[in-house]
Structure formats: C-alpha cells, structure tokens
Structure 1
Amino acid sequence: MEYFAMSYYQLLVFIHVLLFVLWLGADVGVFMLGQHFRKRDKYDLPQRLILLQLLVSLDMVPRTAWALMVPITLTMADAGGWWDLPGWAVILAWLVGGFWLWLVWDAHIHDQTERAARDRMIEFFLKIGLTLFYLGLGIASLANEAPLIPVWLATKALMFGLIFAAAIMIDVAFKPVGPQLGKLIAEGSSDETEIPLLRTMDRTRIWVWIVYLLLLATAFLGNVKPF
C-alpha cells in the first residue's frame, strides 16, 4: 500500500513536470511566432496572418497546461502529505480545473462569437478568484506556517499566484490587438496601422517575460527546495 501511494505521488510529479514543460515550451513557440509576425519587412501581410493563426493554435497548449495545473498542484500537495485536504476539496479542484479547461476550448472553437466572449469573461473572473486563492494561501502559510509548512512550498504557492496575476495582465495588455488587427487587415500595412499594433505587442511582452521568470523561479523552488 505504501509503494502504491509513493507511485501515485510520483505519477503526479511527472504530470506536473510535463505540464510545466508544455506550458513554458509551447509559450516560447508562441513568443517566437509573435516575433516573426512583427517583421513586415520580411513577410507580406497574408504570410504574417498565417503566422498569427499558428500562434493562436499553439497558444492553446500553455492555456490547457495552465488550467490543469490547478487540480494537479492541489492533488499533489495532498498526495505528498504537504497539505491534508479533504476529499471534497480535491474533487472541487478537479471540477474547477475541468470547467476552466472547457471554457478555454469552447471559446477557441467558437472564436469571434458572443459565446466565446461570454466564455472569456467567465474565465477572466475565475482566474481572478484563483489568483486571490494562491496569493492568500502563500501569504497565510508564510505568516502562520500553515497550512503549507515548508517555506519553499508556501513561497511556491505565492509565486504561482503571481504567475496568475501576470498572465491575466498579458490578456489585459493584449486586448487592443483585436481592433488594431482588424484595422490592419482592412486598411493594409502602413505606419498608421502597424505602429499602434507593435506598441501593444511590446507592452504585452513585458508581462510575458515576467511570467517566464516566475515560472523558472517556481520550478527552481520545487526541485531544489532551498528552505
């Protein structure tokens, strides 16, 4: 029975690492496609729009991994003996993660519709709630040494909340891209249509780099466990 429990925990750790690799690896691909989309001197507009379509499709990988990280992290904390969660809490975590995953894919499948806009609005508030949850969990654990006792794990929970916050800011900063891209397609490539779009992408990239740094720091804490 003890061997089975250890194997179950190790499986969860493997899935956790796999989701991290998919999240960060695919997101770097999204970043590179965005970089090439910016090169109007190298690609014509139809080619750049194809790059953008590829970007949107590839972006579903980190978004999927992000949603699954919620139930995996909490289940892992319970299975590893880091946090004694009641069964209903673990089930709730999976229901929340599953619902979030459905919102992400439903919005993608029905893109540019009122249904997609509704999905993304619900997802936005769900992410705010999860941000507050992980920030509160990390801060409370650091202050009270409970419910997460190891400092590295409490800090990791806090940083996961910060990742949520920075990732939300990516979506907020990227929001003007829709109308700006529509203007670019309708009026063609010019300084008037390109420069505002590039400025929006530049502002978004700041938050992207913050997410990357936080992800690497979180991975370091989880593997090295320095304190």
Structure 2
Amino acid sequence: MTIGIALLTLLHILIPIYWLGGDLGAFYSSTFMTDPKRTVGERMMALKILNNIDMAPRTTLILAFPTGFALAWAKGWLAVPGFAVVIAAVAFLGWLALAWAVHLNHGGGAGIKRLDIAIRYGVLIALALTGIAGVAGDVAIPFFIALKLCIMACCIGLGLIVRRQLVPLFGAIRTMTSTGPTAETDAIIAAVNGRARISVLTLWALVLIASFLGIATPV
C-alpha cells in the first residue's frame, strides 16, 4: 500500500468516527435541552452546543462520497478517469462550504438554504439510482460499493427527514425564550426530540453497516 492510498484510507475511516462521535455529542446535549428542570439559559446553551457539534456529522456526510470515490479509484475498484475524482472532490467541497455558510448564518439566507436542500435531494437521487443499478448489475461497480451508495442515499434522506421533524421545535423555543417554559412548549420539545432520536439511531445503524461493508469489501 502506497502512502497516498494509506492516507486516503485513513481519511475515509475518520468519516464514521467523527460522524458517530459528533452525533453522540449532539444526542447527549439534547437531553439537557429537553430537561424542564434546567433554566432557560442552560437549555439554550445546550441547544447552541448541540447545533455546533452537529456540524461534525453534517460535514462528514458530505465528505463521505468524495473520499470513498477517490479511494475506490486509487484501489482500482472503479474504472473512472482521474479527472472525475477531482471534479467530485471540488463539487463536494463547494457543497461543504455552502453547508457551513448556512450554519454560520444561523440558518438564515433563504437562497443558500434552498440551494443546500436542492443539492441534498439531487445527490440523494443520483446515489440511489447508481446504487440500485449497481445492485441489479446494470452498472459495473463492486456490489459492496453499490450497497454503500444506497446506504449513503438513505443517510441523506434521513437527514432531510430529521430537518422536517425539527420544524415544530423552533416555535416552541421562541416561545420558551420570550415568555418562559410552559407545559405545552416542554411537551412539544420532548415530542420532537423523541421522533428525531429514532431517525438518528437508524442513521447510526446505517453508518455502522456501511463501515462494515468498507472493511469486508464483499464482491
């Protein structure tokens, strides 16, 4: 194994490490946000920590494909030209910059937010179609890579579902910060987090399966 391939392998291995680690931190922080015994200030601080930590899994989700694509090309698993790897890397780094712009603007900037969502749907569809075609044998890619593409599409889909699940949370938080917590706002916050946690746990399972496939590399 050359140094270049070793570094690519290490980089790709770090993806699930930071993905699951960041998700675990966000998961734990959410317990403080939903705790009615905490003050409003403490709960808002937990929310701020959660939002910042959550950028680790959001970043690794975007980097998962270009690092895996480059590694598959370097190991000869995919018969694609080198410039395709470079184009993918540049495109996904551009998407990553956009995702960070949305975060740093605290979700503001309707235009860049819509663009980010549109890219997620586009990438989801492209990965799903390619993965399904690979599983069916219509595209000449290794079976384990086809499965990983399908899993990646599911992960992006779950991320979009979580975003929708969190929508009622924003109104409850605004009410809590302006008038103080109530039984109704606490119930909404707890319910939203309960639904989102199911999606997050499912996502964790998918990341672990994808990691296993990358290690086992079944044909």
Given the two structures, how large is their TM-score scaled by the length of structure 2? 0.93
Aligned to 1:132: 125
Aligned to 1:120: 113
Aligned to 1:198: 190
Aligned to 1:34: 30
Alpha-carbon distance in structure 2 between the residues aligned to 1:72 and 1:35: 33
Q: Which runs of 5+ in 1 are unaligned?
A: none
Q: How far did 1:131 drift? A: 0.8
Aligned to 1:157: 149
Contact 2:107 2:113 (8 Å CA) reproduced: no
Aligned to 2:87: 92
Aligned to 2:4: 8
Query: 2:177 pairs with 170, 173, 185, which one?
Result: 185
Question: Which deviates more, 173-182 or 51-60?
Answer: 173-182
Alpha-carbon distance in structure 2 between the residues aligned to 1:183 and 1:54: 20
Contact 2:168 2:188 (8 Å CA) reproduced: no
**When the two structures are aligned, how many residues end up with a matched partner?**
219
Name the aligned partner's letter for residue 101 of structure 1. Answer: L
3-state DSSP of counterpart to 1:111: coil
Alpha-carbon distance in structure 2 between the residues aligned to 1:127 and 1:19: 18
RMSD: 1.6
Percent identical residues: 26
CA-to-aligned-CA distance 1:102-140 (integer Å, 9 cap, x gap): 111111222253x2x322211111011111111111111
Contact 1:187 1:193 (8 Å CA) reproduced: no
Alpha-carbon distance in structure 2 between the residues aligned to 1:20 and 1:212: 9
Aligned to 1:20: 16
Q: Measured at CA, do residues 91 and 225 of structure 1 come closer, stay the same or move farther in structure 2, by a change above 3 Å?
A: closer
Given the two structures, how large is their TM-score scaled by the length of structure 1? 0.90
CA-to-aligned-CA distance 1:67-109 (integer Å, 9 cap, x gap): 2222112111211111122233212211221111111111122
Aligned to 1:214: 206
Ranked by relative contact order (alpha carbons within 8 Å, sequence separation 6 or more), the top structure is 2
3-state DSSP of counterpart to 1:28: helix
Alpha-carbon distance in structure 1 between the residues aligned to 2:180 and 2:40: 8
